[in-house]
Amino acid sequence: MAITYPAGLVRLSALAVVGVLLAACQTRPEIRTQAAAQVDLAGYHTYGFMPKPGTDAEGYHTITTQSIERAVGREMEARGYGLAGPGQEPDLLVNFSVKTHDRVEGQPAAGAGYGWGWGRYGWGWGFGDYYNDIRTVTDGSLTVDVVDREHNQAVWSGTAVGRLTNKVLDNPGPAIDQAVADIFARYPKKLVAAAR
């Protein structure tokens, strides 16, 4: 005798599997950018870094600061900007900050089964009021601000937000490179061409 499953149960099961797969495949950070109105980024030619960026510790450049400066420098130069020399005032100053946030995450318990009661029998589907696989996860964000040095105003900003896995925490360099590249991929393209 063949067992048939209700169409609703099959659809719910398929959606649950797709959701789990999408969550598992999400490795790239979420990117948000914004540009100041009426600003021509192609009018700037040189850049430098804030003397004390948000990632520095008291009195010295951290390894994180050094990694972000290398990645940002690569992206700025790819867009036609040159690093200001010693004693030269840059057109743009770049600042960046990193934030982390811990949160508890879990999946609602769900199940399907076959049973009978009150003169009826059949398949059923439901969610419980408890959670499975509860764990603490850390989300991190990297924000890069590009500032007009003369007017001391941000002209462009980009933020990458994503989960910090143990792999990323143990070796943050590749994740920093990827996050900075993803942020600058949103840099206004028509202005990139004009800046060269």
pLDDT of res. 189: 62
Average pLDDT, the chain: 77
Sheet of 30-35: strand order equals 30-35, 153-163, 120-148, 92-117, 46-49, 82-83
Domain ranges of the chain: 29-109+133-195
Alpha carbons 117 and 157: distance in angstroms, whole number: 61
Residue % of the chain over a pLDDT of 90: 40
How confident is the model over 168-174, as a mean pLDDT? 84
How confident is the model over 102-125, as a mean pLDDT? 60
CB of 142 within 8 A of CB of 160? yes
Res. 106: pLDDT tops 80: no
Between 48 and 128, the higher pLDDT residue = 48
Alpha carbons 167 and 104: distance in angstroms, whole number: 19
CB of 138 within 8 A of CB of 164? yes
62 three-class SS: coil
Res. 6: pLDDT tops 70: no
In tens, the pLDDT along 61-99 reads 889 899 999 999 999 999 999 999 999 999 999 999 988
**pTM, two decimal places:** 0.68
Q: Which CATH number fits domain 29-109+133-195: 3.30.2290.10, 3.10.310.30, 3.30.160.670, 3.30.70.80?
A: 3.30.160.670
Least confident of 99-103, 152-156, 187-191: 187-191
